[in-house]
Amino acid sequence: MGELSKTESPKNPDSIQKLLEEITGLEANISVIKTQIQTFENTIRAKLNLLISRLIVLNHKMKERQQLKKEKRLEQKRRGKNYKEPIQSITTKKINKTEKPTNQEEALELKRLYKEAVVHVHPDKIGTNQEEDAIKNATDLTAQLNGIYKNSDLEALLDFYQTIILANPSSENRPFEMPNVNPKIRLESLISKKGTLTKKLQELEANYLYHVLKNYEDPLTFIDELELQFQEKIAKLEKRTRKL
């Protein structure tokens, strides 16, 4: 592997540092809100589990009933004199590809750093007394590295260098320094990441359960409201599916 040069001091370190701090704050807020929503969801499921299960069963019955009606209507149409079988159009499904950076420079930078990191997590490069452990460790690290590359996260890749590679010096005892990263590319990557996290935070804040947690004096009263709604819906569905 080619020798890595020292990290180049960016022309705008204040901007990069500010973005890093803002991203850290966004990630912290996202984590807190996700935990709050998930905890509340678990509480709702625990208290309304029987009603939720009943709703699932009844909804399934309703779908079956609707499908039967659809098939009967189609059969009646087929018996008509002027009925013609519809011509099915062939649609091409779009293949979901792994998202990669739209910025070509960032994509190349990410690929370069990824290739260099792969060399450093090879079993031969990890100091260990047992070969089996070295292979397992390398496999786990490679999987983690692949996930970072798949998500096109430049900062996570740099953090991987800092916390994994620097913490596990090679068996050759060769001095290792952080790789050089184009400051312009890094800045653009951080701006993009901040935008993505901001959108994610806004989506979480728009979640109705989060609204309940923030605005209800006692959020547990919302569960009572849900219970009444579920009971009413179950009563209607049972009436509609009674003949099935």
Summarize pLDDT for 73-110 with one digit per residue, the tens.
887 777 776 667 667 666 655 555 544 445 788 888 88
- Decide if 7 is inside a domain: no
| Confidence at residue 244, expressed as pLDDT on a 0 to 100 scale | 54
Which helix (H) or strand (E) segment holds residue 90: the answer is none
Q: Which residues does the chain have with pLDDT short of 50?
A: 1-10, 98-101, 171, 173-175
Q: 187-196 pLDDT, tens per residue?
A: 988 998 999 9
Owning domain of residue 73: 24-77+220-244
Report CA-CA distances (Å) from 126 to 59, 123, 228.
55, 5, 60
Residues 169, 242 within the same domain: no
How is residue 83 written in tokens?
Answer: 């009925």
| Assigned domain for 241 exists | yes
Same domain, residue pair 121 and 47: no
User: Within this chain, do residues 190 and 133 fall inside the same structural domain, yes or no?
Assistant: yes
Q: What is the rounded (10 degree) CA torsion for 98, 102, 108, 112? A: -50
Within-domain flag for 9 = no
The confidence score (pLDDT) of residue 171 equals: 46
